[in-house]
A and B are shown apart, each in its own frame.
Chain A
Amino acid sequence: MTAAVGIPPAVTEETEAFWSAAEQGRLVVERCEACGTESFPPRGMCPSCRGRSMAAAEITDRGRIYSFTINYQRWLPDLEVPFALVLVEFPEHPGVRVFGRIRGCAPEEVAIGDEVEVGFEPGPGGFAIPSFVAVEGAA
């Protein structure tokens, strides 16, 4: 299974830190230097205090699947299907939700509430895309 077929992201001043870290297998979001609020995607403004000093903050702990879909349709030639897409939230990081693929389980086994580890895999255009890893035996 490859996730390389697809459409790559346009990288901007706001998103450069995310995609660079992704290449190293690290998930970074924005953290407000004034009030500590974390947010994603990066906007360069704190959604809580509207402060403009935002720093990259890495998330290393497990996330939980908020919702998901299993895509069966071949939207592009050579797109490998089926694959699951998951929306992952992090109990320790309110305000952060990340959309990505999932590995380590069959698509049909994905369920809301399941725990996942942060991960990435090669995506379109040489970018590393979020690809969470199912936690063995997670309920």
Chain B
Amino acid sequence: MGTERFEQRAVISGVGQSAIGRQVDRSGFQLTLDAIVAAIDDAGLSIDDIDGLAMFPGGGKANLPGYASGNLYEVQDALRITTTWRQGQVEGMSLPFYGPAQAVATGEARHVVIWRTVKEGSAARHAGGRPAYGSIHPEAEGPLAWLLPVGALSPACQIAPFATRYMHEYGVTREQLAWIPVTQRAHAALNPAAVYREPLSVEDYLASRMISSPICLYDCDVPADGATAIVVSTVEAAADLRAPVRIEAMAGVIDGRPSWEQWEDMGRVGYATAAAMWGRTDLRPGDVDVAQLYDGFTIEAVWWLEAMGFCGTGEAGAFVEGGERISLGGELPLNTWGGQLSGGRLHAGFGHTAEAVRQLRGEAGERQVRGAEVAAVTNVGGYEAGAALLTRW
């Protein structure tokens, strides 16, 4: 691969997290600062080294209570730094570090910190349950106008038809897919920061209440409170960094109709992004040592297992059945922090990225995958999608 790829001019230098839990009784802003300070320290940098800030989502834009927290300018004011690059956005968020990597690769900034803060756990408690998507607005605007009025009031109902169609086309069963949340729960038991750590069995999964068929309770990620921050630095600063991780390749392609209900082939999601990503590296799926695949719902991890080529189309059920392949000692340890299904809905690939970095540094504690040199990270799927390979320095 002779052509220069901009992402190789960037590294992920630090990751940091606040306290994470179903409810953390501190403001989202304080959780944000906790995560940012921890990430900068983790990078081996000082706050004054930071010259770029990015957050997701920007502008406090949200459709769920607790989904958005804080304001980029207030964070800059708290840090008392000068910035040469800033970004806050909802769209274009294929991966948390995509825009920051572009910024440091082009010299617009040297060290960018990006963060995602959620208070959805507290919001759900205050609402007496997981609230309806869009319920903080009186009317359903934009794409939501075709979803909320008919009763598709949650991402669960919006994404469930993908799972229905996928299982119909390929004959995959709930008994097979149960192994994703079950195995991830076993991983969460080894992660002190995970929200749910008690053992979960396939029987528990099958006995759990249905939310929006075929999505049951344990197919849904866990609304949580917490903040994750990531520092992205120019590769030129590597000597100043404690433990940088390389970005080998990344891509984010939307090649289908960008809405949940209009996506043409609901049995196949993420393929264009995965193909573009593999086109930027000589590494192959078999080279991946650990996979942090987005799992807002179980079916999203299924999409990525197949789109990334870890197994064939329609083969994810057989691939995950029994859990051996996706366990810590298996051929593709999956969501080793518990994923969003057990670790908490830290959202937008932030939790997944933080875990990939820790695994590649050998800093993942009891859940460490031995000799992890290549990690895959993906985000969402469908109408926003990102995939990357991170590699050990």
* Closest 4 A/B residue pairs (Cβ): A69-B160, A67-B161, A75-B132, A75-B153
Q: Which residues of A contact B76 (CB under 8 A)?
A: none
Q: Give chain B nearest CB distance to A137 CB in angstroms.
A: 21
Is there contact, CB below 8 Å, between B145 and A99?
Answer: no
A46 in contact (CB, < 8 A)? no
Chain A residues 106-132 with CB under 8 Å of chain B are 112, 123-125, 127, 129-131
A36 in contact (CB, < 8 A)? no
Chain B residues 95-143 with CB under 8 Å of chain A are 129-135, 137-141
Chain B residues 150-208 with CB under 8 Å of chain A are 150-154, 156-157, 160-162, 164-165, 168
Bound Cα distance from A121 to B213, whole angstroms: 23
Main secondary structure of the interface of B (DSSP, over half): loop
Is there contact, CB below 8 Å, between A72 and B209?
Answer: yes
Known: A7-B134, A68-B164, A87-B261. A15 touches B213 (CB 8 A): no
Is there contact, CB below 8 Å, between A70 and B212?
Answer: yes
Chain A interfacial positions (CB closer than 8 Å to B): 3, 6-10, 12, 15, 41, 66-76, 79, 83, 85, 87, 97, 99-101, 112, 123-125, 127, 129-131
Is there contact, CB below 8 Å, between B149 and A8?
Answer: yes
Known: A69-B160, A71-B157. A7 touches B148 (CB 8 A): yes
Query: Size of chain B's interface in residues, with CB distance under 8 A?
Result: 41
Is there contact, CB below 8 Å, between A99 and B211?
Answer: no
Q: Which residues of A contact B141 (CB under 8 A)?
A: 10
A131, closest chain B residue (CB): B150
Known: A7-B134, A99-B146. A66 touches B165 (CB 8 A): yes
Q: Give chain B nearest CB distance to A91 CB in angstroms.
A: 15
Bound Cα distance from A101 to B162, whole angstroms: 17
A–B Cβ pairs within 8 angstroms, 13 of them: A6-B150, A7-B138, A10-B139, A10-B140, A10-B141, A71-B160, A75-B133, A85-B152, A97-B262, A112-B165, A124-B148, A125-B139, A129-B150
B211, closest chain A residue (CB): A73
Q: Which residues of A contact B131 (CB under 8 A)?
A: 75
Known: A67-B165, A75-B153, A99-B261. A6 touches B148 (CB 8 A): yes
Picked from A10, A68, A75, A99, the residue with its CB within 8 Å of the CB of B150 is: A99
Q: Give chain A nearest CB distance to B298 CB in angstroms.
A: 14
Chain B interfacial positions (CB closer than 8 Å to A): 129-135, 137-141, 144-154, 156-157, 160-162, 164-165, 168, 209-215, 261-262, 266
Tell me which of A67, A75, A83, A112 has the highest count of chain B C-beta atoms within 10 A of its own C-beta: A75
Q: Which residues of B contact A73 (CB under 8 A)?
A: 130, 154, 156, 211-212
B168, closest chain A residue (CB): A112
Picked from B138, B212, B261, the residue with its CB within 8 Å of the CB of A72 is: B212
B147, closest chain A residue (CB): A99
B259, closest chain A residue (CB): A41
Bound Cα distance from A66 to B152, whole angstroms: 16
Bound Cα distance from A87 to B148, whole angstroms: 14
Is there contact, CB below 8 Å, between B154 and A7?
Answer: no
Is there contact, CB below 8 Å, between A3 and B262?
Answer: no
Q: Give chain B nearest CB distance to A1 CB in angstroms.
A: 11
Bound Cα distance from A123 to B215, whole angstroms: 25
Is there contact, CB below 8 Å, between B140 and A8?
Answer: yes
Is there contact, CB below 8 Å, between A70 and B213?
Answer: yes
Bound Cα distance from A75 to B134, whole angstroms: 11
Picked from A7, A41, A87, the residue with its CB within 8 Å of the CB of B161 is: A87
Q: Give chain B nearest CB distance to A124 CB in angstroms.
A: 6
Tell me which of B129, B151, B214 has the highest count of chain A C-beta atoms within 10 A of its own C-beta: B151
Apart from A67-B161, A71-B212, list 6 A-B contacts with CB within 8 A: A6-B149, A7-B153, A66-B165, A66-B266, A75-B130, A85-B212
Q: Which residues of A contact B147 (CB under 8 A)?
A: 99
Is there contact, CB below 8 Å, between B161 and A68?
Answer: yes
Q: Which residues of B contact A9 (CB under 8 A)?
A: 139-140, 145-146, 148-149
Is there contact, CB below 8 Å, between A75 and B154?
Answer: yes
Bound Cα distance from A97 to B77, whole angstroms: 48
